[in-house]
Amino acid sequence: MRRCLAVILVVLMAVAGTLLAQEIGLLGRYDDARYIEQSKEETEQIVFARLIFNGRIPAYYKNWYTDYPKADRLLIKGLQRLTNLDIAEHERAVAIIDPDLFKYPFLYTSEPGQMVLNDQDATIMREYLARGGFWVMDDFWGSFEWASMERQLRKILPNAEIKDIPRNHPLFHLFYDIDSVVQGPSLAYVFNGGISWEQDGFVGECKGVWDDQGRLVIVINHNTDLGDAYEWADDPQYPNNFSHYAYRVAVNTILYALTH
């Protein structure tokens, strides 16, 4: 009974956070950017950018803002500590239709299974990738959310081949050697008896999409929640092996994005 109550508490916390986001106008669409107080000054520093998109699966409380902004800020602190990257102190959330999108060489997306892209969105993202941009998707689970994400991705790259990133790829060895994919659970893992999966997403995956020149342009972290691993990295209840893995992945991925 105590464990069940704890799980319910975690869910209520997540829902409460989302309701708070909605109170200030965050409704899961790209004009949410109007309600976010963030610096828009020009900078030569590397900026961690989170993508704002339109869309919502009916009855879902999750969206682009899942784990935002705490996960982003703790990840930035980790990158500052672990690397000598000149990375900005504060994250930025940028909408697909914002012309500033092209200023950011790296985009992070939470809950890509929620995306609903129109033709304009797809054209913008196609151009972003063609210009050398790099896109990471994270925190979506199971076959249903995968199918939803893939439908949107194929609006951008109709002929995209989505396949596992080989373990000998530089993404897994550029800074840290990563020999296996670890499924990172949400905070609910602490209270649910160690269940790390959601829906039918039993096995963590790291897949990718390459462009016509063979450059890896999209990394897809499926059946895993690296965002929670960043967000709860300072919580002693959350197992540090998940956060350690997530930070190693982030360092390698961002270094790869900036050098390839």
Kindly report, residue by residue over 175-204, the tens digit of the pLDDT. Answer: 999 999 999 999 999 999 999 999 999 999
pLDDT digits (tens, 9 = 90+) for 106-123: 999 999 999 999 999 999
Closest CA relative to residue 21, chosen from 58, 67, 56: 67
SS (H, E, C) 104-169: CCEEEEECHHHCCCCHHHHHHHHHHHHCCCEEEEECECHHHHHHHHHHHHHHHCCCCCCEECCCCC
Of 51-65, 124-138, 233-247, least confident by mean pLDDT is: 51-65
Q: What is the mean pLDDT of residues 166-171?
A: 98
- Confirm or reject CATH 3.30.365.10 for domain 2-259, answering yes or no: no
Q: Which residues of 204-242 are buried (b: 16+ CB within 10 A; e: fewer)?
A: bbbbbbeeeeeebbbbbbbbbbbbbbbbbbeeeebbeeb
Q: Where are the domains of the chain?
A: 2-259
pLDDT value for 204? 98
Q: Output DSSP code: residue 32.
A: G
Percent of the chain residues past pLDDT 70, beyond the cut: 89
Say yes or no to pLDDT of 27 above 90: no
Say yes or no to pLDDT of 30 above 90: no
Phi, psi (rounded to 5 degrees) for 134: -130, 135
Percent of the chain residues past pLDDT 90, beyond the cut: 82
Reported as type and span, the H/E element at residue 23 is helix 2-23
Residue 147, judged by CB atoms within 10 A of its CB (0-12, 13-18, 19+), counts as exposed
Angle between helices 142-156 and 119-130 (to 10 degrees): 80
Euclidean distance between CA atoms 46 and 107, whole angstroms? 11
Euclidean distance between CA atoms 223 and 210, whole angstroms? 21
pLDDT digits (tens, 9 = 90+) for 137-167: 999 999 999 999 999 999 999 999 999 999 9
Bond into 58 cis (ω within 30): no
pLDDT digits (tens, 9 = 90+) for 68-95: 999 999 999 999 999 999 999 999 999 9
Euclidean distance between CA atoms 39 and 20, whole angstroms? 21
Cβ neighbours, 10 Å, residue 133: 19
Residues with Cβ within 8 Å of residue 25, at least 6 apart in sequence: 32, 34, 35
